[in-house]
Amino acid sequence: MKLLKEFLRGDGAHCGLADWYPEQETALKAALKAHAAFDTGWYSSKKEIASARVFSRVGEKSVKVEVSVSDDFDTVGLGYCSTTEWNLEAVASAIDKAWADAAADQEANAPYVGFSIIQNEKDWVETYLLSNGEFDAPPGDSYYNWGWQHDADDGVGTPHPNIPLPVVAAFENWAERWARGETTEKFFRIGEWKIKPWREAPRSYEDPSDWVGMGWVGADGRP
């Protein structure tokens, strides 16, 4: 298997994962044209918190793609795809598919639900975070407490002072209900204030007591 050393020199792509720099694109194009076993290794994107690997093993007739994503909470998502077409366009499409799957996997793994507080339909004012109970504080380096993010004292956040207290209480209640799947609304508005989830839909939580009975448990104790 030929390792494409061009992908080991800094970022492999610019704005996405298939927006390769000229040197990397030339090397990948030549490897695809040769229909030989190759491996880019894991390469990063300059503009995204994501990385990809493109490779083909000896004797295989397909090109494989792996994509890994992360976020401010160090939540990892992985996606995979393959193509039997040995050209840049097919590989780029496979990367897009694997990236979408990685994003979905990341959302399923997320130990939090995030909400934006918006004023007058345009001005972001505040962030509100709910935990699924896995961590005492948000993982990663960007947030230090659950709940409101405006200010924190001893790990307890307080809402932005511009948000009226009745709105604060109503938003807290609605966020809890949304996270539990008790409402399907895309947002909740009170006057000039709106709370909007970062996700399209609430996460579906599985009941671990059902895994064995459904025959889903694998060697690792999970489906």
Tens of pLDDT, residue by residue over 73-100, are 999 999 999 999 999 999 999 999 999 9
* The pLDDT of residue 9: 84
Element (H, E) at 55: strand 50-56
pTM: 0.79
- Asked if 80 and 65 touch (Cβ cutoff 8 Å), the reply is yes
pLDDT band at 153 (very low <50, low <70, confident <90, very high): low
Q: Is the pLDDT of residue 164 over 90?
A: yes
Q: Could you tell me if 7 and 27 are in contact, meaning their C-beta atoms sit under 8 angstroms apart? A: yes
Structure tokens at 185: 């609304």
Q: What is the pLDDT of residue 205?
A: 47
Q: Residue 152's pLDDT is what?
A: 64
- Ranges 9-13, 46-50, 101-105, 154-158: which has the least confidence: 154-158
- pLDDT band at residue 222, thresholds of 50, 70 and 90? very low
Return mean pLDDT, the chain: 89
Q: What is the mean pLDDT of residues 112-123?
A: 95
Query: Which residues lie below 8 Å from residue 109, measured CB to CB, with a gap of 6+?
Result: 75, 76, 77
H-helix or E-strand spanning residue 212: helix 209-213
Better-scored residue on pLDDT, 121 or 156: 121
pLDDT at residue 53 tops 70 = yes
Residues 178-212: tens digit of each pLDDT: 999 999 899 999 999 999 999 888 765 444 444 34
Give the percent of the chain with pLDDT over 70.
89
